[in-house]
Structure 1
């Protein structure tokens, strides 16, 4: 679902949605209630009353100065250096699975919690096929708008297609393209307390397998490095806080030091110093032992 309806928290003259993210709201949940009379508006204008559910490409929201700086400075993301395992082990980020598409890739910096949509097959099912009669017929496309509506702050139909593809690709970025992250996914329980017929097997294909059976309507070819402005132009605003959070974290254990290759030059320098220095210490100790043996023999 796009939003999670809240049927019992407001009077009949209001329509409310639930936030599955606790105190964290994000741009898609700026307002949780609005008047029932606003139903007369176009779908996109009505949904805009709750927040920016469908942002346009490369939308720069009303962020902090740090986020605006990151928007201009952080250009790419690589599954080798930005993935669920590194976010969990070095970034101390917890993952919570949600039912609402509007919460996908939202990050709560106060609780270090990342919210992920648990039903990616919804996205795959709604991406238009090559058949003109089937193209853009799903409900989510009825929520799109033209570029000149709502001040250019809402997605067009083309943007919606791109967003659905990006969401599917985001699971590959976080899990599927990294071995440690795939192993991490096997320890997670995205469908805890959900009946068997309510589970999405496509999620396991995306997150738990090195390769998955792609769909003609699915996302484009995977890359070793993704250009955020092109490959994740819709989710860019949600990826940047995560990237900035991870950039501020440093490894704390020897294992994390070995696995953290985000700065390959520093990584090579550090371990070269450790190895060469360690060998020097061992040779010095051996030389000392030999000298002691020689003294004893004489």
Structure 2
């Protein structure tokens, strides 16, 4: 393709994206807030990379100049599908009403994708037998153009079955045709290997359904040649099958649970307070939907992980199948069950209650800011408050409370509004199988409840909040109160006798 043809193709894609927003114009103040957020985030990308990335390299390829130059095409390529899906999936009107707010809300996810690619680029330094070879041969312009092609390819699907049949070979040929990659540079098999690596890394960085590994997936030159014509979704399935065989080697495995014959928590008691006060669980944010509502255990702490990018479900991925489901996606599951509610119903409705009032509720003292969102908008000194779980670990924790999001008023990312709606609207108080309607997350909610049911209180605080058996609770604390009263009575008698003796001696 000639330069004019490439430019015309890009303009055509941009025009289609612009056309989706023809009926909703962005007010100047919203556009300015979005432009400022992107400009500041791109200027701070090295800091953002070190806050949410897991490698310590300083020679970062992305900077404000090259990111700003590709901003429009990146947004169009990666998020156009979500624009198309919002009206169908969010009929109650909770989504963004303008293009500026839509792009403002997608900035944290875009930076997550760029951070993943920068970490993968660092993996290109290969060291064997005391010698290191640097295969970081692609500049920022090349990487971003491949990412744009990968984003567009990932949104193509057949209407018959919803499957995307784009292969690695197809995408490689598209990059050759658009002069992004060159066949002339294939001087050895290693050069072709790293072209495949770049394409695969860009595709994998876009996927938040499964866990993104700290090290590149173990794909070899032979693997690429053998399976280059397979649809990319089948490649991902093969990789996930490999990791399922090594689940037991994880340093932070899922929590082992067993059913308990003891009294269990009622749905009304199944809330965030019990998870933290009685379950002693820390709430961690994750970029992987496969870890959402999953309990993990470590040497010194247990944690419940919560997905930090619920708007990703606008892509229409059906988590129960390998294909896209354009009619009834599992997206419906997430808004009902992102995290257990902070208290039983009734709950304020985000569409009727001022959003600031919801954000100011005591519930927010129970959660920290999602680290990606915190560092994107530079809230509460992210370089010092965001810490990794361990060396080279991509899961981050922060001490910044959720209420610090109020400093973004009046522009809050849709991920936060999504979470608030989910927290305050879903109801677990039904007596007959309260989790049965959650097709995908129901088993995980039951596992959390099983964790609470099987846990025995080990501190006075946990004994106080353990209300599963009301009769036992009143018996214990009644006995404690009785003993205190008896103790105070005995102490009063002792004091009275001591005073009487002292008076008698005088």
8 Å Cα contact 1:70-1:240 kept in structure 2: no
8 Å Cα contact 2:310-2:334 kept in structure 1: yes
8 Å Cα contact 2:271-2:344 kept in structure 1: no
8 Å Cα contact 1:105-1:114 kept in structure 2: yes
8 Å Cα contact 1:99-1:119 kept in structure 2: yes
**48 and 236 in structure 1: CA distance in 2 versus 1, 3 angstrom threshold:** farther
Match of residue 132 from structure 1: none
**237 and 230 in structure 1: CA distance in 2 versus 1, 3 angstrom threshold:** closer
- For 1:106 and 1:159, the matched residues in 2 are separated by 27
- For 2:362 and 2:468, the matched residues in 1 are separated by 15
**33 and 210 in structure 1: CA distance in 2 versus 1, 3 angstrom threshold:** closer
Q: Please give the secondary structure, in 2, of the residue aligned with 1:51.
A: helix
What is the CA distance between 1:278 and its match in structure 2?
1.7
- For 2:323 and 2:262, the matched residues in 1 are separated by 24
**47 and 256 in structure 1: CA distance in 2 versus 1, 3 angstrom threshold:** same
8 Å Cα contact 1:105-1:239 kept in structure 2: yes
**201 and 97 in structure 1: CA distance in 2 versus 1, 3 angstrom threshold:** same
What is the CA distance between 1:159 and its match in structure 2?
11
Q: Please give the secondary structure, in 1, of the residue aligned with 2:472.
A: helix
8 Å Cα contact 2:428-2:434 kept in structure 1: no
Structure of higher CA gyration radius: 2
**155 and 112 in structure 1: CA distance in 2 versus 1, 3 angstrom threshold:** farther
What is the CA distance between 1:245 and its match in structure 2?
4.4
8 Å Cα contact 1:121-1:202 kept in structure 2: yes
Match of residue 487 from structure 2: 281
**72 and 262 in structure 1: CA distance in 2 versus 1, 3 angstrom threshold:** closer
What is the CA distance between 1:258 and its match in structure 2?
2.4
- For 1:115 and 1:180, the matched residues in 2 are separated by 20
- For 2:421 and 2:305, the matched residues in 1 are separated by 18
CA deviations on 1:78-115 (whole Å, 9 max, x unpaired) are 352442x3333444433332333333223321252332
What is the CA distance between 1:209 and its match in structure 2?
9.8
Q: Which residue among 455, 458, 469 is the counterpart of 1:248?
A: 455
Match of residue 374 from structure 2: 192
- For 2:237 and 2:260, the matched residues in 1 are separated by 23
CA deviations on 1:140-192 (whole Å, 9 max, x unpaired) are 25x764xxxxxxxx68949963x43332233352446598644312x545521
Q: Please give the secondary structure, in 1, of the residue aligned with 2:306.
A: strand
Match of residue 237 from structure 2: 48
Q: Which moved more, 1:169-178 or 1:28-37?
A: 28-37
Match of residue 173 from structure 1: 340
Work out whether 1:257 is the aligned partner of 2:463: yes
Q: Please give the secondary structure, in 2, of the residue aligned with 1:173.
A: coil
Q: Please give the secondary structure, in 2, of the residue aligned with 1:234.
A: coil
- For 2:457 and 2:332, the matched residues in 1 are separated by 32
What is the CA distance between 1:290 and its match in structure 2?
5.1
8 Å Cα contact 2:295-2:303 kept in structure 1: yes
The 5-angstrom pairing of residues 96-111 of structure 1 reads 96-110=284-298
- For 1:257 and 1:244, the matched residues in 2 are separated by 18
Match of residue 156 from structure 2: none
- Tell me the TM-score normalised to structure 1 length: 0.57
In proportion to residue count, which structure has more helix?
Answer: 2
Match of residue 317 from structure 2: 140
How many residue pairs get matched? 246
Q: Please give the secondary structure, in 1, of the residue aligned with 2:375.
A: coil
- For 2:334 and 2:260, the matched residues in 1 are separated by 19
Q: Please give the secondary structure, in 2, of the residue aligned with 1:266.
A: helix
Identify the structure with bigger relative contact order (alpha carbons < 8 Å, sequence gap 6+). 1
The 5-angstrom pairing of residues 52-131 of structure 1 reads 67=257, 69-70=258-259, 78=267, 80-83=269-272, 85-110=273-298, 112-123=302-313, 126=314
Instruction: Specify every segment of 5 or more residues in structure 2 that has no aligned partner in the other structure, as ranges.
Output: 1-108, 125-192, 242-252, 346-360, 379-407
**140 and 244 in structure 1: CA distance in 2 versus 1, 3 angstrom threshold:** same
**224 and 240 in structure 1: CA distance in 2 versus 1, 3 angstrom threshold:** closer
